[in-house]
Amino acid sequence: MLATGFALSACTGSPVVVTSSVPVPASSSGPPPPRSFTLTAGGDVLIHPALTDQATADGGAAGRTYLPLFEGVRETLKADLSLCHLEVPLGPKEGPFFGYPAFLAPPEVAKGLVDVGYDSCSTASNHTLDRGVSAIQTTLDAMDAVGLKHTGSFRTQEEAAAPLVLDANGVKVAQLSFTYGFNGIPLPQPWRANQIDADKILADARAARAAGAEVVVLSVQWGNEYQHEATPDQKALARRLLADPALDLIIGTHVHVVQPFEKIGDKWVAYGLGNEVARHAEPRGVTEEGAIARFKFEQGPAGWSVVEASYTPTLVELGPPIRLVDLTRVPVTPRRTEAITRTEGVVFSLGANQQGLVRGRP
């Protein structure tokens, strides 16, 4: 087929037929594909001093770099939107830095997260106030400096009131971030960081939709540390929140071990993704195991829903050097097989494998 059009004569203004030899493809007779996007999410980014020592060794004369620590999951994280959970506050470049129980990690952590592929991080954590309000400032400043989006803790009341709405393949997706508490440290102002309250979570979800969000994702710190089973409180809160049309997905963190995934109605909750990176003083084996969640959302006549759900088992190998690995992309060893088997047993323990969840990318 040839393209034919009209142009105006420069002298008379009368139309002139213009014929092009460029073929024009026939229009497709089928409907356009539905709008969709993919989302990945990782577990706790828990920067113990040994991880900073590793970043210092990896960077050498060029200075600390956390990318080699994270590099093993770069391909796994690739998606239209990738969400992380920054468990600890970040301080000024010159330090000093601290580990458990009151953390403060170097600002280069934020660059490592961006460089490996993360777009946004939740920052409401039981460690948010470990080093006071000044550490909220330095944390968010460090994230802003490298383009890593954030929500959950805030520098100003105006910042706290503004929903975080992100772009995922042209779809507006909001991220909320809440934690169960702050290790007994009182909030200096109620807006400084988000503490779990079902009514506030849903109110914030509705505010995000009013701001244009088409899909709303909750990143939440909850559960009992080192316990694989989701608690009755976790299950009850998930059911209450996901019953509301304002919220579409829950990504859980905090307990430092992997917890189950579950489909509630037509929505998913990942109760706990374990540690993405950590180097506990006394590693438990399970505290080095994690999962990266992947969800594909698609828009249908009834709205947005997850049409594909999967998880990828990960492991922090303590080396030296300390490295995070995707267990589906590395050779088999007894330790790696143990981690794969245990993670699968936990993730599927509430029947997620019968609800459509698979291991690895669908």
Q: Region 62-79: what's the mean pLDDT?
A: 98
Spatial separation of the C-alpha atoms in residues 184 and 254, rounded to whole Å: 16
Q: Which residue is associated with the tokens 């961006």?
A: 114
**Is the distance from CB of 34 to CB of 300 less than 8 angstroms?**
yes
Share of the chain above pLDDT 90, in %: 90
- Residue 24 domain-assigned (yes or no): no
- Residue 300 domain-assigned (yes or no): yes
- Residue 332 domain-assigned (yes or no): yes
pLDDT at 85: 98
Higher pLDDT, 4 or 114: 114
Pairing verdict, β 267-270 and 120-122: unpaired
Which residues does residue 6 pair with via DSSP β-bridges, in sequence order? 17
Structurally, the chain folds into a number of domains equal to 1
Q: Would the pLDDT of 38 be above 60? A: yes
- Residue 26 domain-assigned (yes or no): no
pLDDT at 21: 45
Residue 198's CATH number: 3.60.21.10
> What backbone torsions phi and psi does residue 193 show, to the nearest 5 degrees?
-155, 155
Q: Region 95-104: what's the mean pLDDT?
A: 98
- Residue 4 domain-assigned (yes or no): no
Spatial separation of the C-alpha atoms in residues 259 and 257, rounded to whole Å: 7
- CB atoms under 10 Å from CB of 18, counted, come to 10
pLDDT at 270: 99
Q: Region 131-141: what's the mean pLDDT?
A: 98
| pLDDT band with cut points at 50, 70 and 90 for residue 8 | very low
Q: Would the pLDDT of 4 be above 50? A: no
DSSP symbols for 204-215: HHHHHHHTT-SE
Fill in the DSSP letter of residue 244: S
Share of the chain above pLDDT 70, in %: 92
CA 304 to chain centroid: 19
- CB atoms under 10 Å from CB of 329, counted, come to 13
Instruction: For residue 47, give Cα distances in angstroms to 123, 160, 288, 357.
Output: 14, 25, 13, 30
- Residue 11 domain-assigned (yes or no): no
> What backbone torsions phi and psi does residue 212 show, to the nearest 5 degrees?
115, -5
pLDDT at 30: 79
- For residue 338, what are the domain limits? 35-359
Helix H or strand E segment including 114: helix 108-116
Q: Region 26-44: what's the mean pLDDT?
A: 86
pLDDT at 362: 66
Structure-token pair, residue 40: 């990945």
User: 73-83 pLDDT, tens per residue?
Assistant: 999 999 999 99
Spatial separation of the C-alpha atoms in residues 288 and 277, rounded to whole Å: 7
User: pLDDT averaged over the chain?
Assistant: 93
Three-class DSSP labels, 294-332: EEEEEEECCEEEEEEEEEEEEEEECCCCCEEEECCCCCC
- Residue 1 domain-assigned (yes or no): no
- Residue 9 domain-assigned (yes or no): no
Q: Would the pLDDT of 175 be above 70? A: yes
| pLDDT band with cut points at 50, 70 and 90 for residue 273 | very high
